[in-house]
Amino acid sequence: MEQAGSYGIGIDLGGTTFTVGVFTQSGEALCHASQDTPSTGDPELIARALAEAAREQMAAVEAPLDEVVGVAIGFPGPVDPDTGVVKHAPNIHCLAGYALTAAVSRYLDGAEVSLQNDAYCATLAELRWGAGRNVANMLMLTLGTGIGGGVALCNEVVRGPRQILGEVGHIIIDPNGRKCGCGCFGCLEAVAAKQAIIDLAASEIQSGRPTLLTELVAGDQEALTPEVVARAAEEGDAAAVSVYERIGFHIGVALCNCIVLTDPDLIVLGGGIAAAGDVLFGPIRRTVAARSLISGFDVSKIVPARFGNLAGIYGAGALAWEQAHRAAGFGVRDCSPTTSSH
């Protein structure tokens, strides 16, 4: 049942744009809109822009600010959720070390504001309102330029004391593999994210092997994207299929490791690369079936995310409600719909 006149505000903050939405406690997005993230060296200007956009969205639903139960921000980098401070900001440098929640709260007349990593938010979105809404234990991977992840245990997303639990992208798959942005070699992110797909596809073209990829990019390898490779694979192109077989194998091996550590009821895959569908999910499921024998994990429980590119904003909305329930003394299970079906 909805709390009459109560709204949660979610903010998905990125280096280029940010999105603000207003959510009911059952996960209905009443409205959401995106704006350019201010290009500035002054973090106060960013905090003010977020607050002003939140006010605009509340005006769009014709409700006063005092009917907001909470505001939550999903951030693309390490944060300290207890203090609301951004630890490291690879795409918005001026926010590093900045107390973002305190500043946004100040511009919103003292509203409760919380902060979490964007992968945490994406996981929470799927757990509360998405593909995982009927389970208590879930693993999520977001597959894109990088590979993020999240773990839900006993119906709660957990990150650990140093906020790294669920950083699946940095599981070592090949110790002698390519260098990852984190400085290590052979991380899942290095061997299975966007650039790895592009590089593998480019190697197939350069090998001289007949492939539809050459036609799709009109001879310009700069036009290669995971979407182009997925399209060729869907049409049965052997070179493109082999690329996704290799990527799926690496992701599947990582999932085998995660399964014995987290014992999930469900594994949810999101992000742009997951949109490849069966050409990716097939080799992932086959790998898990063949290499996670001890777990007996049902590979049909490896499923696509519900929210796609909107996972960040839905997750921030879910976090706003989560924090409101905690502040009111309710358990996190109160944030889940009581009845639902896939």
pLDDT over threshold 50, residue 333: no
Give the Cα separation of 95 and 115 in Å (integer): 13
Angle of helix 194-206 relative to helix 226-234, nearest 10 degrees?
Answer: 60
| Average pLDDT value for the chain | 91
Amino acid at the residue 206: Q
Domains and CATH numbers, the chain: 7-123+309-335 (3.30.420.40), 135-305 (3.30.420.40)
SS3 177: coil
Residue 161, pLDDT score: 86
Encode pLDDT of 122-155 as tens digits.
Answer: 999 999 999 999 999 999 999 998 898 999 999 9
How far CA 125 is from CA of 21, 25, 251, 291, in Å, comes to 13, 12, 22, 29
Give the pLDDT of residue 164.
Answer: 85
Q: CA 310, CA 137: separation in Å to the nearest integer?
A: 22
Q: Which helix (H) or strand (E) holds 165?
A: none
Per-residue pLDDT of 210-264, as tens digits, reads: 999 999 998 888 899 999 999 999 999 999 999 999 999 999 999 999 999 999 9
Question: What is the model's pLDDT at position 314?
Answer: 96
Q: What is the spatial distance between Cα 116 and Cα 74, in angstroms, rounded to a whole number?
A: 5
State residue 330's pLDDT score: 63
Tally of CA atoms within 13 A in the half-sphere of 225 that contains its CB: 10
Burial 166-192 (b: 16+ CB within 10 A, else e): bbbbbbbbeeebeebeeeebbbbbbbb
- Contact yes or no for 288/323 (Cβ under 8 A): no
The predicted model gives 270-291 an average pLDDT of 96
Backbone region of residue 20 per phi and psi (left: phi > 0; alpha: psi in -120 to 50; beta: other values): beta
Strand pairing report for 147-153 and 138-143: antiparallel
Q: Is residue 323 within 8 Å of 124, Cβ to Cβ?
A: no
Taking alpha carbons only, the member of 102, 25, 14, 16 closest to residue 328 is 25
pLDDT category at 160 given cuts 50, 70, 90 is confident
Q: Is the pLDDT of residue 335 over 80?
A: no
